[in-house]
């Protein structure tokens, strides 16, 4: 017999004055303990984790903020002097490409009176200038000039220590062109965080990767929580239902689940990737020095919390999920090839277009599924559901990681 579900309303007071801040109460912890169980008994994360505004802010500070999260990519700021403002869950951040080609991340706020420093995307030759009172900063975030600080025509002011008023840096690192930040500043060293995945993919010379140029980017706004994007990337089980074209060339039977060292990554791989380009199309350059097995291998890995990468013998894509609101996420994708020739030589244009069309199709097909997962979480009758012990290991690994991480001190 099916369990019945009884909807319980709070008191009138609770409904009129909802608690605006999220608290890890004993009830929430009890729900999270149900995630951390053997697969056959485990439930998924509670509905609030996907729908609540209060939890969204809590998650920014206690989950994204305490580890390494992706906020953009190097291709967003390709040239020296490029600037890009990023709104990260309500926090204004700024990406800069400095003179040495390095990437830096700052809090996007002027040290004078706190104006949001850069709006949108800009290119500057040397200095970032605040549009309010014209203070300027170098691309490395140092305060450079404060016109009129001492009165009209006086650019100095006794007692003002310029060196103390630079932009505030955010701890950052770049890997596979993805820009990661650690907002709290005290997460483990990035090298340790990324080591399990670099170890897994150590046979690939990732330093050869170059952005594919035209037809190598896209973005999609999902009416869904970011975690459904990640969960869906960990899930190969939906392949026959959602991706008939992909399933025709790489069947569910050809896939294998991937669960990395706890707390780092999960995903899926396939042993049936076909790199051969049909007809007269030029064959794409391949990562050199790899075994026969690698020629038909592909792996799709979600690096928790919000980065995903898909590696193949002849290309790699990165996808990241940028949370905008509990039920809204920007999904970004960029494609890279193990040689700069692919972007530069027009002969490759049709192949690049085909790779782009294929992946855009696959991720576009996923959209209705993740949006349906979001709508399902509006139902109080759903209490975390169940996982298939055979098929849902990677998705469960993600839920389990999030349940555990959010409770860390």
Specify the residue, 334 or 366, whose C-beta has the smaller distance to Fe ion: 366
133 binds ligand FES, rule: CB under 6 A: yes
> Which residues 82-111 are close enough to bind ligand FES by CB under 6 A?
110
According to DSSP, the β-strands at 82-88 and 69-73 are unpaired
130 binds, among ligand FES, Fe ion, none (CB under 5 to 8 A by kind): ligand FES
How far, in Å, CA of 42 to CA of 276, rounded? Answer: 41
CB of 113 to ligand FES, least distance (A): 4
Residue 318 in contact with ligand FES, rule: CB under 6 A: no
Assess whether the previous peptide bond of 160 is cis (omega < 30° from 0).
Answer: no
> Contact between 366 and Fe ion (CB under 5 A)?
yes
Total residues in contact with Fe ion, by rule CB under 5 A:
1
Q: Which does 366 bind (CB under 5 to 8 A by kind): ligand FES, Fe ion, none?
A: Fe ion
Q: Which residues of 187-226 are buried (b: 16+ CB within 10 A; e: fewer)?
A: beebeebbeebeebbeebebeebbbbbebbbbebebebbb
Decide if residue 130 touches ligand FES (CB under 6 A): yes
* Alpha carbons 205 and 296: distance in angstroms, whole number: 17
Choices 149-157, 290-298, 366-374, 382-390 (CB under 5 A): range interacting with Fe ion: 366-374
User: Distance between CA atoms of 286 and 288, rounded to whole angstroms?
Assistant: 6
251 binds ligand FES (CB under 6 A): no
| Rg of the chain taking only CA atoms, in angstroms | 23
Instruction: Give me the least distance between CB of 112 and ligand FES, in Å please.
Output: 3
Other Cβ atoms less than 10 A from the Cβ of 171: the count is: 16
135 lies in the binding site for ligand FES (CB under 6 A): yes
Nearest to 169 by CA among 145, 137, 196: 137
C-beta closer to ligand FES: residue 114 or 279? 114
Distances (CA, A) of 9 to 15, 20, 281: 8, 18, 62
Q: How far is the CB of 110 from ligand FES (least distance, A)?
A: 3
Measured from the CB of residue 156, what is the shortest distance to ligand FES in angstroms?
A: 15
CB of 157 to Fe ion, least distance (A): 58
214: DSSP letter = T
Residues that bind ligand FES (CB under 6 A): 110, 112-113, 115, 130, 132-133, 135
């Amino acid at each position: 017999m099916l369990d019945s579900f009884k909807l319980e309303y709070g008191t009138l007071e609770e409904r009129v004055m909802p608690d605006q801040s999220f608290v890890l109460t004993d009830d929430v912890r009890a729900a999270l303990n149900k995630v951390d169980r053997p697969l056959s008994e485990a439930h998924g994360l509670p509905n609030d984790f996907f729908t609540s505004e209060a939890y969204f802010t809590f998650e920014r500070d206690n989950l994204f903020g305490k580890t390494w999260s992706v906020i953009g990519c190097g291709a967003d700021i390709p040239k020296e002097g490029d600037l890009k403002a990023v709104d990260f869950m309500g926090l204004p951040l700024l990406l800069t490409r400095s003179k040495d080609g390095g990437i830096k991340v700052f809090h996007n706020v002027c040290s004078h009176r706190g104006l949001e420093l850069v709006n949108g995307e800009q290119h500057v030759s040397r200095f970032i200038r605040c549009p309010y009172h014209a203070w300027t900063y170098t691309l490395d975030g140092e305060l450079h000039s404060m016109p009129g600080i001492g009165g009209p025509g006086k650019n100095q002011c006794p007692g003002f220590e310029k060196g103390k008023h630079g932009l505030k840096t955010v701890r950052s690192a770049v890997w596979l062109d993805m820009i990661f930040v650690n907002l709290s500043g005290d997460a483990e060293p990035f090298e340790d965080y990324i080591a399990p995945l670099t170890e897994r993919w150590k046979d690939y010379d990732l330093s050869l990767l170059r952005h594919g140029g035209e037809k190598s980017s896209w973005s999609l706004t999902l009416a869904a929580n970011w975690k459904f994007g990640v969960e869906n990337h960990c899930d190969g089980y939906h392949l026959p239902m959602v991706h008939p074209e992909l399933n025709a060339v790489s069947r569910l039977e050809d896939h294998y689940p991937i669960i990395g060292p706890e707390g780092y990554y999960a995903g899926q791989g396939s042993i049936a990737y076909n790199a051969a380009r049909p007809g007269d199309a030029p064959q794409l350059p391949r990562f050199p020095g790899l075994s026969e097995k690698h020629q038909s291998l592909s792996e799709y890995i979600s690096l928790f919390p919000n980065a995903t990468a898909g590696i193949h013998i002849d290309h790699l894509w990165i996808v990241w999920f940028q949370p905008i609101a509990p039920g809204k996420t920007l999904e970004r994708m960029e494609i890279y090839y193990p040689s700069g020739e692919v972007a530069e030589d027009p002969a490759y244009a049709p192949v690049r277009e085909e790779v782009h069309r294929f992946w855009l199709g696959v991720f576009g097909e996923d959209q209705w599924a993740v949006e349906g997962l979001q709508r399902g979480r509006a139902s109080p009758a759903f209490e975390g559901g169940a996982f298939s012990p055979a098929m849902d290991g990677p998705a469960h690994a993600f839920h389990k990681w999030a349940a555990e991480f959010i409770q860390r001190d």
